[in-house]
């Protein structure tokens, strides 16, 4: 089988593992060729660091995409994450429209925020645009904050104001709502069915069913776990796994990485210490 190829549209943050420094190694070890379109270059990610540098790559994206088009490149997946400007919403949407073919997997991780807050560089207009971009996706991977933004709901009121946070039926309903009437699959992250657990509530547009995958909750906040989740999920789906199997692999991998990170007493903003465990993702 030829090596499947993915266009990966995320930022490159030099320190504090997230985005391309996770996406590329994870997809590579899972047997996928990554073609990066960096949305921005930052000295560090924006969570827990002050004074980071930020180079906006908006102008470069359409130029690189036009060159790829002239080469007639084909992608089995298009996978986007953290964007660098409001204009990038339309640029990434245009990229999807140009390069999508019948069997292309379009994965939009609607990266916008966490714990009820938007990330430092995200404006309300970018969050509104992200909902438009996510409407083009086959699969989305919001956390609970991003789910609230996508649905235009108050985070504090989501899941009955937090009272239903461990309510499987409420989480299932939320995943279904995010599917736009069953048109796209959803893996809602940070979904815990009981205290001491965490995982994902998955709505599979192929089966019309919503089911959860769970693991033990290790520590919060661990930076970059959402990017690891979406990357392992993308790699699994490109290998032909079901949404639920791919999500289970992602949740188990993050659990192993989180245990290792906490055991080493690493500062949480450095991200999870995943590199030594990448071998667990090698296809067998």
Catalog residues that contact ligand PXL under the rule CB under 6 A: 11, 13, 18-19, 42, 45-47, 82, 111, 119, 224, 226-227
Q: Is residue 144 a contact partner of residue 191, using CB atoms and an 8 Å limit? A: yes
Which is closer to ligand PXL, CB of 164 or CB of 266?
Answer: 266
- Asked if 229 and 253 touch (Cβ cutoff 8 Å), the reply is no
Instruction: Name the minimum Å distance from CB 196 to ligand PXL.
Output: 24
Tally of CA atoms within 13 A in the half-sphere of 224 that contains its CB: 30
CB of 164 to ligand PXL, least distance (A): 26
Task: Report the nearest approach of ligand PXL to the CB of residue 134 (Å).
Answer: 15
Q: How far is the CB of 84 from ligand PXL (least distance, A)?
A: 9
Task: Name the residue nearer to ligand PXL (CB basis): 199 or 204.
Answer: 199
Specify which residues 75 forms β-bridges with.
none
Contacts of 161 (CB under 8 A, 6+ apart): none
Nearer to ligand PXL, 143 or 214 (CB): 143
- Minimum CB distance to ligand PXL, residue 117 (Å): 10
Cβ-contact 189, 175 below 8 angstroms:
no
Phi, psi of 14, rounded to the nearest 5 degrees: -65, -40
For residue 23, the minimal CB distance to ligand PXL (Å) is 10
Nearest CA-CA partner of 236 in 112, 79, 131: 79
Distance CA 149, CA 155 (A): 8
> In this structure, what are the phi and psi dihedrals at residue 32, rounded to the nearest 5 degrees?
-115, 135
Shortest Cβ 133–ligand PXL spacing (Å): 15
Q: Which is nearer to ligand PXL, 119 or 217 (CB)?
A: 119
Nearest approach in angstroms of CB 49 to ligand PXL is 8
Q: Cβ closer to ligand PXL: 45 or 184? A: 45
Closer CB to ligand PXL, residue 147 or residue 210? Answer: 147
Cis peptide before 21 (omega within 30 of 0): no
Closer to ligand PXL by CB, 144 or 244: give it: 144
Distance between CA atoms of residues 82 and 148, nearest Å: 17
Q: Which residue has 């937090």 as its token pair?
A: 162
Residue number, 44 or 76, with CB nearest to ligand PXL: 44
* Spatial distance between the Cα atoms of 263 and 277, rounded to a whole number of angstroms: 14
Q: Which helix (H) or strand (E) holds 15?
A: strand 12-15
Residues 153 and 149: their CA atoms lie apart, in Å, by 6
């Amino acid at each position: 089988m030829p090596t499947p190829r993915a266009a990966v549209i995320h930022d490159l943050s030099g320190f504090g593992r997230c985005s391309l420094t996770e996406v590329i190694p994870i997809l590579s070890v899972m047997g996928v060729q990554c073609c990066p379109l960096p949305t921005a270059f930052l000295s560090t990610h924006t969570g827990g660091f002050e004074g980071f540098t930020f180079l906006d790559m908006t102008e470069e994206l359409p130029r690189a995409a036009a060159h790829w088009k002239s080469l007639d490149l084909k992608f089995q997946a298009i996978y986007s994450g953290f964007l660098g400007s409001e204009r990038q919403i339309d640029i990434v949407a245009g990229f999807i429209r140009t390069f999508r073919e019948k069997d292309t997997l379009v994965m939009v991780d609607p990266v916008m925020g966490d714990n009820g807050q938007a990330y430092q560089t995200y404006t309300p207009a970018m969050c509104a645009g992200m909902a438009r971009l996510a409407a083009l996706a086959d699969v989305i991977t919001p956390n609970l904050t991003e789910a609230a933004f996508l649905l235009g709901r108050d985070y504090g009121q989501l899941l009955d104001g937090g009272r239903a946070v461990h309510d499987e039926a409420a989480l299932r309903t939320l995943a279904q709502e995010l599917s736009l009437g069953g048109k796209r699959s959803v893996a809602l992250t940070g979904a815990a069915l009981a205290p001491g657990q965490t995982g994902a509530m998955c709505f599979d547009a192929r089966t019309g069913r919503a089911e959860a995958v769970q693991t033990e909750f290790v520590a919060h906040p661990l930076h970059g776990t959402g990017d690891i989740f979406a990357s392992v999920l993308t790699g699994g789906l490109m290998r032909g796994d079901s949404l639920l199997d791919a999500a289970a692999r992602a949740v188990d991998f993050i659990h192993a990485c989180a245990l290792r990170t906490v055991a080493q007493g690493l500062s949480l903003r450095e991200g999870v210490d995943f590199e030594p465990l990448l071998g667990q993702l090698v296809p067998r």
